[in-house]
């Protein structure tokens, strides 16, 4: 079930901040009324595609900040695992230098509530609790507005890395719509023409 148009699931969890500080009571609610949020999930620490994504978001972090948008990452690994990975240099496969929050979804409830958990727990025929999948997160991304509402979501399978420029484009599109009341057509980017419905029931292009 899509979360678009719905309130983003609330959680409190441990997180690593600034690449070094472990905090136990992190919540996206701190951004409510203040910032937009790009909240993205990745499968596992110490893997191959995942660090390329985390570094790509870090490289674009100033652009997100210019748009008053926080970036927050999350996986089902522990905060200690996150911390260890954050101490490893990039050329060693680590994510040293990442400054945005990295959430530890150790109970897997955050991933489940956001609909990105690969698998679920079920009792098998002998009454034993068993996992039906890998129980890690797909590459989910959620754009959350200042009111805590999910306005865009994207979920990729694990081998498929995301495009950070597209995440920035969606932030631009959301903010443009909020500021101008116009809609953004296919392949719209900041500075291009947008569309506005006329009284005749058709859409006209407007330059912004």
Our answer to whether residue 50 is catalytic in this structure is yes
Going by their DSSP bridges, the two strands 121-123 and 129-131 should be labelled as: antiparallel
The residue to which tokens 């309130």 are assigned: 7
3-state secondary structure of 206: strand
- Quote the radius of gyration of the chain (alpha carbons, Å): 19
Considering the candidates 50, 69, 74, 184, report the single residue annotated as catalytic: 50
CA distance 144 to 142: 6
Residue 15 backbone dihedrals phi, psi, to 5 degrees:
-150, 155
Residue 170, CB half-sphere, CA atoms under 13 Å: how many?
Answer: 18
Q: By the 8 A CB rule, do 110 and 11 touch?
A: yes
Which residues contact residue 162 at a Cβ distance below 8 angstroms, ignoring those fewer than 6 apart?
40, 53, 139, 141, 154, 156
Q: How far apart are CA 82 and CA 74, in angstroms?
A: 10
| 195: CB partners within 8 A, 6+ apart | 182, 183, 184, 185, 203, 204, 205, 206
Residues acting as catalytic residues = 50
């Amino acid at each position: 079930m899509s979360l678009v148009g719905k309130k983003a699931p609330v959680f409190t969890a441990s997180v690593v901040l600034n690449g070094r500080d472990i905090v136990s009571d992190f919540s996206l609610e701190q951004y409510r009324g203040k910032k937009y949020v790009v909240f993205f999930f990745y499968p596992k620490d110490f893997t191959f595609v995942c660090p390329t994504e985390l570094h790509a978001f870090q490289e674009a972090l100033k652009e997100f900040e210019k748009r008053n948008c926080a970036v927050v990452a999350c996986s089902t690994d522990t905060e200690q695992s996150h911390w260890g990975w954050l101490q490893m240099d990039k050329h060693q496969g680590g994510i040293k230098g990442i400054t945005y929050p990295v959430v530890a979804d150790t109970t897997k409830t955050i991933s489940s509530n956001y609909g990105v958990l690969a698998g679920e727990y079920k009792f098998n025929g002998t009454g034993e609790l068993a996992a039906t999948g890998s129980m890690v997160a797909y590459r989910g991304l959620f754009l959350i507005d200042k009111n805590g509402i999910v306005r865009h979501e994207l979920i990729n399978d694990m081998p498929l890395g995301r495009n950070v420029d597209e995440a920035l484009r969606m932030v631009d599109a959301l903010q443009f719509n909020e500021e101008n009341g116009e809609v953004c057509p296919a392949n719209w980017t900041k500075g291009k023409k947008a569309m506005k419905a006329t009284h005749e029931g058709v859409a006209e292009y407007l330059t912004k």
